A and B are shown apart, each in its own frame.
Chain A
Amino acid sequence: MKRLLVVVVAGLLVAAALMVPTPRPPESGPLPDLAEPRFAVCLVEEGAGRSSEISIASFDAGGAQTDLYSNGRLVGSLGQTIPERGSSVIPVVDITAVGTVVGMVELPSSAGGAATLTRGTGSLAAEGCVSGAPTDSYLAGGNTVGGGDFDVYLMNPFAVDAAVRLAVSSEVGSESNSRFESITVLARSFVVIEMRQLIPGREDIRVNVETLGGRVVSFARQASDGLAAVWAGSEMATDWYLPLPGSGEQVRIGSPAGPDVEYQVDVYGESGTIAAVLTGLIPANGEFVFNPADHASEELGPVRAVRVITNSPSVTTLQLRGEGRFGVTAGATSASRRWVAPGSLEAPPPPESDGESEVPPLPAGRLVILNPGIEDAFVVVSPSGPSGAAIELTVPAEGVAQFDFGTADAHFIESDMPVVVLWVAGDGDALSLGVMVPGE
């Protein structure tokens, strides 16, 4: 009897051991969402005929810190307090005069941005500083023909050394050079790849910066005919918006990696929108270039903006070239209700009056605002600095509005509908996409 009892108890225990579910091992806490970056990496040039200033603009009040790094060292630093919807313009020469350096701007919050304006002899280059540090980025629109200098800047303001490789292609196909492989960018340093030295005589250079370790922020600088443009590398996306400043624009759709890319181009005119004015296939590492002005029509009027849709990630770049004008910037990957457009411009002196009629003052620059939505957008533009009160304007659905501004350190753009903002200096001397501000 006792033995039977033992057998029964043992059987029950074995059954329990086999049937009791295996306990789940303890788990770590939930992974939080990544915060929007509160810093911006800038390409700063000071000396050798160039002079930069850094503009900082923020919806939120708080401290801002600007550090300049070179050769692994902090070479200059400036701390400031930015008021709510305030801005600050820092002539780099006030901090240090050290040539090219990596600028790291710590913003009061993620609702802000920074940009650099670099003035050379007869040239002006502007580009928003890059918030965050993408793993891969793409630069298009360079050339080394004639006296053209196309330099790629790999900026690493961080405390961790980075390693990258460059996938460079041009009209002759993929470029091969050992200098493009395993480039080490030490912490708090930068590396400049001068393409003219490596691949001279190329008309259309495209560079895909692939990160192997650490992080870098890439910029490109193109100088030719006494003009210069600076633009930042872009991450890939499938949807691109490009407000156009006026004339002389060229749009480049690049397929930096992976398979062939199918694309579709929609154009926004003064009188409406035409979808799919261009469609086609871009081979891997290839590029498609078109002039938006070619698609103007009586029905549409001049083309004011472009939207590019691709079936796989691509990069779209806007290039502006004209008489005494040169600017390059990447498109916007999405629309937003809030933007800041840091960039300090001073209105040129007004032309002399003939005494009969009042001559309107010349604008310092222009904001081009695209409303890609299907409802009109009510937009408020608030300049920071001496240029005065906020301006309210309505941007029609699937339409574009332009706003000329006078002397201002920065602009804050708020809209009830998502819009895309392009900042243009003078009459297109330089251009830069505004800095999209996440959230409300």
Chain B
Amino acid sequence: MTASTSHSAGKSDNQGGVVAATVRVLLTVIADSDLEAALAVVSRQVYEPAPEIVIVGGEPPSGMVGYPTLEEAIADSGQNVDYLWLLHSDARPRPDALAALVREMERNEASLGGSKLLVAGSRDELEEVGSATDVFGEPYSGLEEGEIDLQQYDVVREVAFVRSASMLARRDLAQGLRGLDELLPPISAGLDFSQRTRLAGGKVISVPSSEVYHQRRCGHSARGWREQAGRLRAMLIAYRPLTLLWVIPYDILVAVLDSIANLLLLRWRPAARHALSWLWNLAHLPSTLARRGSLKKVRVAGDEELFRFQAKGSVRLREVGSELSSRALSVFDDDETLSTRSRRFLGSPGIWGAILATLIAVIAARSIFFSGMPNTGFAFPFEAPSTSIDRWFAGWNRAGLGAPNPVHPSVITTAAASIVAFGATEFARTFLTLLLSVIGVAGMGRLGGRLGLRGPGRYLAGLVLLAGPGTALLTGAGSWLALAGAAVLPWMVRAVLVLPGADTKPWRPLGWAVLFGVTLASLTPLLVAVPLLVTLVVPTQGVGSTRLRAGLAGLLGGIAAVPFLLGNPSWLLDSGRRLMPVIEPQWPILIAIALGLTLLLEQPWRRVGVVGGLSALAALVVSQVSIGGPGVEEAVLIGVSFGAALLVAVCLDLLSRDPRRLAVLAAGSVVLALSVGPFLNGRFGLPAGDINDELGYTSVLVGDTGPGRVLLASVDRSDLPGESRPGPGFWYRVVDAAPITHDQVWLSPSHQGDQEFEAVLHRISRGDELHPGAALAEFAIDWVVLEGEEFRLDTVLATQLDLARRMFDPETRVFENLVPRPLAGSDTTMWQRSGAGFEGEPDTQIRIATIYDQGWRPAPVGDGWSVLVDATQGEASFRGSLLNRMLPVLALLLSLAAVVSIGYGRSRR
């Protein structure tokens, strides 16, 4: 059988002399729809001969014929019937809908036709006028959401498929194809039937003149997992094996990308839908294969016939990509000029400021593009995400000689970024760094917008935030976290500065505040207090309590940093650990001048300028006072830049010929220009260098004892990676064999082992140790690297017996320990790192050259400062205290609650 069989026999006159075909209406009962009303509407069809109406899938009214399934109804249709009108009981066709369908079907010699579906109860809102699909069957109607029918689509055309809500099919074809697939929901059933019709040689057309109002009770959304599963089944039935060979992997790839993209948009359902869709199809594979067999019998066309009506690429990916880009652009586009395609776009100064600032940021990242991220100072690669997560949940802190004290909370951020990058940690770091610059610029712009600024300055001020007088000092010392903290800060401040009436649901701003609080606390913990301080100085506009609550909620996010701060109080208190960079004296003067000039402006510029200027000056003074540890120093210096950025945002907000404005503009421009200077070094102000590359031999040239540790020493603290300890006449620090990773940046408080190590260094530097290698081997030191100018250790290491000089690097003095001992092992066994723990061949007991703590397992025993563990299981790991384990869990739960509250608030909107 083919679909080209002629059907002119038995036709009668209809509508002005046209010979009408005989039609049988198969009215499918849809739950919750009014069957009587449907029958009434169908019976009013202006069509001769009056079509016979049968009920499918429901109890027929008295006197009417009913069938339990559509397949049976189709099969029972007699030879006198030309067409079957498959109609849902939630469809309300216009009186001429059937006649139009029959007429156009006849005229176009089509086998299957679909009506134009309009949303019932709307002002002619279009639901469907025939659809194209992509290769995966994803419908693509081309209609805008809420698009009104203005007859713009009123042309009969061939389409990929028509909906089953109202479709007219040739009876013989429907019987040959055995009707709709009963397992499929409405849309995919229509798709499946349309595809099979086309493969059987039939023509599928959309008939816009046949208008049907659709109540959409049959499940109008194409997004449900059943519909998705149905589309997959339709694909598996229709395509030939050769096509399936590439379509299936392609579909899986699209599913993965779609899931990830939706997860980025905080949607988990698409991933679940994809999974369920595949599971359902696996469960129904036998029936799918049976249907493929049935189709084979009537198939006359190849897959190319389907491809003719398909859109290129993936509709789903296009949609989600469009949404992502729209969201990304909306970060800069609080006026929504882009999303609304407004003509004001080019005239929007905010957009121009954002573009200019982003361009400068791109230029500032040129070396990162070409050479990758620097590995020096306080900027180092991320550890594997699983290991970072382990450390975050009270795992072992391996910095220095190791310690039970929790690691810096930023490891959870690095882990999250690495997971998103599928474990490509270096890509994650590079991408995150580039993203941070955009986030910082956008954040400052959006914050400025919330403060009433509309000009380009608020985005350009983002550069001052990232590279201003305070942040530049930190990034200049290699602090990647300062860059990250500065970038997130304006978003959190913005989240706290709730606009009056902007959000009636209190949990949404609270959710944002908590989420940004957790993020900020994980990067630069003390900055979480800044938004709260801002709420106290910025006028409340009647929402003081809401802002205060949001500020406190943000402070609650600080819980992410509590384990680290409790375990490292000196990070907050010990000024000896500070970097002590000095802010150039021109900065307070420049800021004061700009502040003074903003006093000449009117509100709201004056208010924002005063807040920014005074904040910057106050933070600047505090930064010069040697109180508090590096955590305080970091927050205060970023605070200087933040205040300066607010000031610059005001200064550059309005471009005008007003002399006052010009003066303010000049002052702001000077601050901006001086800030951007160091930022343009190609690495966002981070110093150049790759110490991991320089120390590459430490992980390559390993003997029987495996990779151990490296002792780095210099008289100049800045020569050393991360934090260092003061030694006898020099600075030193211990790192694991390369690569040095982000988690090792900050050292833990000194433990017994650290003190013993310092005593050894003291002996060595006195020249009182003829076998320094043996002494250092106790601490698993395999290499000694002396940086910078020559100093005491150079002298004493020239006359010793077991540290051999190696000429690996002309810039440093490298000594290899000739008598190394393993980091973890026994006399017979050497264990290696495994995540945050160790593993190796089972033995009775092994020594781990790390600080003893009872959290080690199994069966930890102190061996002096180091630890012995039972080695019979072949692995050793560490579990921190209950408090240190629970607080990260609490932070995580808090973040999840914040996401839920944001999502809930969003959906309610």
A, B co-complexed: yes
Q: Which residues of A contact B (CB under 8 A)?
A: 3, 6-7, 9-11, 13-14, 16-18, 20, 22-35, 37-39, 67, 104, 106, 132-133, 157-162, 187, 214-215
Q: Which of A7, A18, A29, A35 contacts B585 (CB 8 A)?
A: A18
Q: Which residues of A contact B799 (CB under 8 A)?
A: 37, 39, 132-133, 158, 215
**Inter-subunit contact A13/B621 (CB<8 Å):** yes
Interface residues of B in 612-662 (CB under 8 A from A): 613-614, 617-618, 620-621, 624-626
Within the complex, what minimum Cβ distance (angstroms) separates B845 from chain A?
29
Chain A residue with the shortest CB-CB distance to B758: A29
Size class of the B contact interface (CB-based, 8 Å): 35 or more
Q: Which residues of A contact B802 (CB under 8 A)?
A: 159
Can you identify 30 A-B contacts, CB atoms within 8 angstroms? Answer: A6-B599, A7-B596, A13-B592, A13-B621, A14-B592, A17-B617, A23-B625, A24-B626, A26-B576, A26-B578, A27-B726, A28-B717, A28-B729, A28-B730, A28-B731, A29-B726, A30-B729, A31-B728, A37-B799, A38-B768, A38-B770, A104-B801, A133-B798, A157-B801, A158-B801, A159-B800, A159-B803, A160-B798, A187-B805, A214-B798
Within the complex, what minimum Cβ distance (angstroms) separates A331 from chain B?
24
Taking A23-B624, A106-B770 as contacts, is the C-beta distance between A159 and B801 under 8 angstroms? yes
**Inter-subunit contact A161/B595 (CB<8 Å):** no
Taking A6-B595, A13-B588, A17-B588 as contacts, is the C-beta distance between A29 and B801 under 8 angstroms? no
Docked CA distance A215–B800 (Å): 10
Q: Which residues of B contact A33 (CB under 8 A)?
A: 766
Q: Which residues of B contact A7 (CB under 8 A)?
A: 596, 599
Interface residues of B in 22-49 (CB under 8 A from A): none
B580 located at the interface, meaning its Cβ lies under 8 Å from any Cβ of chain A in the complex: yes
Q: Which residues of B contact A3 (CB under 8 A)?
A: 599
B610 located at the interface, meaning its Cβ lies under 8 Å from any Cβ of chain A in the complex: yes
* Pairs of residues from A and B, 4 with the lowest C-beta to C-beta distance, nearest first: A31-B729, A13-B617, A17-B588, A35-B768
Q: Which residues of A contact B795 (CB under 8 A)?
A: 34
Chain A residue with the shortest CB-CB distance to B718: A25
Docked CA distance A90–B802 (Å): 24
**Inter-subunit contact A160/B792 (CB<8 Å):** no
**Interface contacts beyond A10-B592, A18-B588, A160-B800: sample of 5 additional A-B pairs, CB < 8 Å, sorted by A:** A14-B588, A20-B624, A132-B799, A160-B804, A214-B805
Q: Which of B614, B617, B726, B729 contacts A32 (CB 8 A)?
A: B729
Q: Which residues of A contact B727 (CB under 8 A)?
A: 28-29
Docked CA distance A106–B802 (Å): 14
Docked CA distance A132–B770 (Å): 11
Q: Which residues of A contact B768 (CB under 8 A)?
A: 35, 38
Docked CA distance A11–B589 (Å): 9
Docked CA distance A366–B344 (Å): 108
Docked CA distance A7–B596 (Å): 7
Chief secondary structure at chain A's binding surface:
loop
Q: Which residues of B contact A67 (CB under 8 A)?
A: 801
Q: Which residues of B contact A22 (CB under 8 A)?
A: 582, 624
Chain B residue with the shortest CB-CB distance to A72: B804
**Inter-subunit contact B624/A24 (CB<8 Å):** no
**Inter-subunit contact B580/A24 (CB<8 Å):** yes
B797 located at the interface, meaning its Cβ lies under 8 Å from any Cβ of chain A in the complex: yes
Q: Which residues of B contact A (CB under 8 A)?
A: 575-578, 580, 582-583, 585, 588-589, 592, 595-596, 599, 610, 613-614, 617-618, 620-621, 624-626, 715, 717, 726-731, 762, 765-768, 770, 773, 792, 795-805, 815, 818
Within the complex, what minimum Cβ distance (angstroms) separates A368 from chain B?
31
Within the complex, what minimum Cβ distance (angstroms) separates B600 from chain A?
9
Docked CA distance A293–B610 (Å): 93
Docked CA distance A6–B615 (Å): 12
Docked CA distance A34–B792 (Å): 9
Taking A11-B592, A34-B766, A38-B770 as contacts, is the C-beta distance between A158 and B798 under 8 angstroms? yes
Chain B residue with the shortest CB-CB distance to A5: B610
**Inter-subunit contact A37/B730 (CB<8 Å):** no
Docked CA distance A37–B801 (Å): 13
Q: Which residues of A contact B620 (CB under 8 A)?
A: 13, 17
Chain A residue with the shortest CB-CB distance to B627: A23
Q: Which residues of B contact A29 (CB under 8 A)?
A: 726-729
Q: Which residues of A contact B726 (CB under 8 A)?
A: 26-29
Within the complex, what minimum Cβ distance (angstroms) separates A379 from chain B?
30
Q: Which residues of B contact A9 (CB under 8 A)?
A: 614
Q: Which residues of A contact B803 (CB under 8 A)?
A: 159-160
Within the complex, what minimum Cβ distance (angstroms) separates A373 from chain B?
30
Q: Which residues of B contact A214 (CB under 8 A)?
A: 798, 805
Docked CA distance A23–B580 (Å): 7
Docked CA distance A374–B33 (Å): 128
Interface centre among A10, A33, A157, A159 (most CB of B within 10 A): A159
Within the complex, what minimum Cβ distance (angstroms) separates B97 from chain A?
73
**Inter-subunit contact B800/A158 (CB<8 Å):** yes
Within the complex, what minimum Cβ distance (angstroms) separates B589 from chain A?
7
Interface centre among A26, A30, A32, A67 (most CB of B within 10 A): A26
Q: Which residues of B contact A16 (CB under 8 A)?
A: 621
Within the complex, what minimum Cβ distance (angstroms) separates B626 from chain A?
4
